[in-house]
A and B are shown apart, each in its own frame.
Chain A
Amino acid sequence: MDKPVNQRAWFLVLPVFLLVAFSAILPLMTVVNYAFNDTFGSNAFFWVGLEWFEEVLTSERVHEALLRQLLFSAIILAIEIPLGIAVALTLPKRGIGASVCLVILALPLLIPWNVVGTIWQVFARVDIGLLGAFLSQIGVDFNIGQDSIDAWVVLIVMDVWHWTSLVTLLAYAGLQAIPEAYYQAGRIDQASRWAVFRYIELPKMKGVLLIAILLRFMDSFVIYTEPFVVTGGGPGSATTFLSIDLVKMAIGQFDLGPAAAFSIMYFFVILLICWVFYTVMTNLDRQDLPE
């Protein structure tokens, strides 16, 4: 059978092509251009090969930022996942109470990131902040502008405040999906509360928890706005995470070459995480099919 051929159909994809070209491909190519060239302004470029990549990969400063980033992600995961599950377990299962709790839990998720950052920045200020001023009043030496531990504590508490709800909501959805018969079976088998959690609730929540972990890991790995607003990466470089370091390098110091190389690698790392995320999720779907 002959298919009708009409090359004019290409015109239909032209708008999308132009849009993507100007919003994604051209800027990305500019970055790639910067990553492999050196420039002294006036659009004169000199080929340097992988020099910028080597510089970034061997840079002590980037290593430190990466370590801080991993430490931050590890700490917030270690707090938010168990806390989220614990809160989900205590929520009412149905009725008006359940709806009220869900709405209250969802509130922090609706606040824009820079607003969350501003709230906590003001909250932690020693002169006028509710928390900072109170702590100084009772004699605690607390200053996020000078003490790096204090800065870390505020950032972690802020992230926990902002994002534990997400884990809770996911875990809650997982718990709601467990048929009542499982709990009955547990009761009939004389299972303890811990055994019910360990052998019924936790395995049944496995899927949503994996999603929660991956989401929180990815989100915290690219965190920028909140620490930028609260600490600006300081004191010193104590809270300079990868994205903050990248912005400092690119816009602060105008080291466009290394910054471009840095952002390309950063991009691939995130792409890799996305791929892991996708693979795990599709595999989970397949596993759950026989149920």
Chain B
Amino acid sequence: MLELKGVAKRVRGQTHIYPTDLTLEKGTMNVLLGPTLAGKTTLMRLLAGLDAPSEGRVIWDGRDVTGVRVQDRGVAMVYQQFINYPSMSVYENIASPLRIAGQARDEIDRKVRQTADLLKLSPYLERLPLELSGGQQQRCALARALVKDAGLVLLDEPLANLDYKLREELRAELPRIFQKSGAIFVYATTEPEEALLLGGNTAALWEGRIAQFGPTLDVYRQPCDIVTARVFSNPPMNFTSVRKDGHRLTFGRGVNAPADGVFAGLPDGDYSAGFRANHLGLNVHTGSAIELPCTVGVSEITGSETYLHLHHGDDRWVALLHGVHDIPQDSEVGVFLETRYLYLFDVAGKLAAPAAYAMAA
């Protein structure tokens, strides 16, 4: 078990990580999700011991390891770049941490072959890293991290430099690979889909703070505030202001909806309504859907889906629609939204009422 207690990091007067508490259990997958500069890498370096925190303690299995050097911690790390020792063969690369640890020759051989098998590297053991494809180079780096049997394995956007196909392939395999190890895995990524596919726990990071930490699906379905909701949606969650008045929700441009179900118990006042891009539609599905008038900005057609950029008053929204919808710019459209997909956040940005669909799931 790895605990951060009030850990903060400041560099030359700038706060990179605000005081943070975090507990990671053995044998779990923990995703650090956040945009670039959110502090993912900084937090990882603190977890690993590559950097010492400015304040707070790092506790490993009940032992305070705050000042302990990374060399003496038993951690492994995989980077966005493919880091392998260029003059060593794949076999020697995987074996290198074991050789430094001074293990017996046949023990090393057994572990290297086992790990290479797991990562489908067995046919390439005699090659140099540069003679491998990008995906294989990253597998080699992963193998080097796994073979150590480190208690903590850190993966800093390991798939970001791979092309789409290889990323899909390796991402599908990662949970299976991780399952076999009892280590704590920490996986940094900017992509919400990646967090959802990996499962485990997710910590949503925003500007040096952990906004929310918990089981990945819970964080996705019930983001505790606007920041988490924005980080954990791709495209980012759409927002608009809404006013609750008795049994009625009034949207900015005079559209009304009944405030029933989860919204019934809320005090009257102003709220921010959030909803994900995939919940907006151009056609009415049910009678409970409300119609919101919008002006079309750009239509990005990716093939099977269309990202429709919309202006609703001053709000900028994105609708994710199935199929090809080539709608001319500046045309006026009505988009439909069912109220069960609405999250309401109070003026401070805290979740006031989760969407009904998320509660039911």
B86 CB contacts on chain A under 8 angstroms: 199-200, 203-204
Dominant SS among interface residues on chain A: helix
B79 CB contacts on chain A under 8 angstroms: 181, 184-185
If A181-B83, A182-B83 touch, does A187 touch B130 (CB 8 Å cutoff)? no
CB distance from A81 to the nearest CB of B (A): 18
Cβ-defined contact, A291 with B77, below 8 A: no
Q: Mark B62-104, 1 if CB is under 8 A from A, else 0.
A: 0000000011000111011101011110000000110011000
If A184-B50, A184-B77 touch, does A189 touch B97 (CB 8 Å cutoff)? yes
Taken together as a complex, chains A and B put the C-alpha atoms of A179 and B134 apart, in Å, by 17
CB distance from A3 to the nearest CB of B (A): 43
CB distance from A205 to the nearest CB of B (A): 11
Taken together as a complex, chains A and B put the C-alpha atoms of A222 and B134 apart, in Å, by 44
CB distance from B166 to the nearest CB of A (A): 14
A182 CB contacts on chain B under 8 angstroms: 83
If A188-B75, A190-B71 touch, does A199 touch B85 (CB 8 Å cutoff)? yes
Task: Decide if B48 is an interface residue (CB 8 Å cutoff).
Answer: yes
Task: Decide if A173 is an interface residue (CB 8 Å cutoff).
Answer: no
Q: What residue of chain A has the Cβ atom nearest to residue B133's Cβ?
A: A290
If A188-B77, A190-B100, A191-B100 touch, does A290 touch B130 (CB 8 Å cutoff)? yes
B85 CB contacts on chain A under 8 angstroms: 199-200, 203
B83 CB contacts on chain A under 8 angstroms: 179, 181-182, 185
If A184-B50, A190-B71, A190-B100 touch, does A199 touch B88 (CB 8 Å cutoff)? yes
If A199-B87, A199-B88 touch, does A185 touch B77 (CB 8 Å cutoff)? yes
Task: Decide if A287 is an interface residue (CB 8 Å cutoff).
Answer: yes
Q: What residue of chain A has the Cβ atom nearest to residue B134's Cβ?
A: A290
Q: Mark A111-133, 1 if CB is under 8 A from B, else 0.
A: 00000000000000000000000
Taken together as a complex, chains A and B put the C-alpha atoms of A204 and B83 apart, in Å, by 12
Q: How large is the interface on A (under 10, 10 to 19, 20 to 34, 35 or more residues)?
A: 10 to 19
Q: What residue of chain A has the Cβ atom nearest to residue B92's Cβ?
A: A199
Taken together as a complex, chains A and B put the C-alpha atoms of A287 and B80 apart, in Å, by 21
Q: Mark A166-209, 1 if CB is under 8 A from B, else 0.
A: 00000000000001011011011111000100011011100000
A291 CB contacts on chain B under 8 angstroms: 130
A203 CB contacts on chain B under 8 angstroms: 85-87
Cβ-defined contact, B81 with A187, below 8 A: no
Taken together as a complex, chains A and B put the C-alpha atoms of A181 and B160 apart, in Å, by 15
Interface residues in A127-183 (C-beta closer than 8 Å to B): 179, 181-182
Cβ-defined contact, A188 with B48, below 8 A: yes
CB distance from A187 to the nearest CB of B (A): 5
If A181-B81, A290-B130 touch, does A187 touch B87 (CB 8 Å cutoff)? no
Q: Which of A179, A187, A199, A200 contacts B71 (CB 8 A)?
A: A187
Taken together as a complex, chains A and B put the C-alpha atoms of A203 and B131 apart, in Å, by 15
Q: Mark B126-138, 1 if CB is under 8 A from A, else 0.
A: 0000110010000
Taken together as a complex, chains A and B put the C-alpha atoms of A290 and B71 apart, in Å, by 31
Taken together as a complex, chains A and B put the C-alpha atoms of A200 and B88 apart, in Å, by 10
A181 CB contacts on chain B under 8 angstroms: 79-81, 83
B101 CB contacts on chain A under 8 angstroms: 190
Interface residues in A206-242 (C-beta closer than 8 Å to B): none
Taken together as a complex, chains A and B put the C-alpha atoms of A190 and B72 apart, in Å, by 8
CB distance from A191 to the nearest CB of B (A): 7
Taken together as a complex, chains A and B put the C-alpha atoms of A188 and B71 apart, in Å, by 5
Q: Mark B141-162, 1 if CB is under 8 A from A, else 0.
A: 0001000000000000000000
Q: What residue of chain B has the Cβ atom nearest to residue A192's Cβ?
A: B100
Besides the known contacts A188-B48, A200-B85, 12 further A-B residue pairs in the complex with CB atoms under 8 A apart? A187-B70, A187-B71, A189-B96, A190-B100, A191-B96, A191-B100, A199-B86, A199-B96, A203-B87, A204-B86, A287-B130, A291-B130
16 CB-based A-B contacts, threshold 8 Å? A179-B81, A179-B83, A184-B79, A185-B77, A185-B83, A187-B71, A188-B48, A188-B50, A190-B71, A191-B96, A195-B100, A199-B86, A199-B88, A200-B85, A204-B86, A290-B131
Shortest Cβ-Cβ A-B pairs, 9 listed: A203-B87, A203-B86, A181-B79, A199-B85, A190-B71, A185-B83, A189-B97, A190-B100, A181-B83
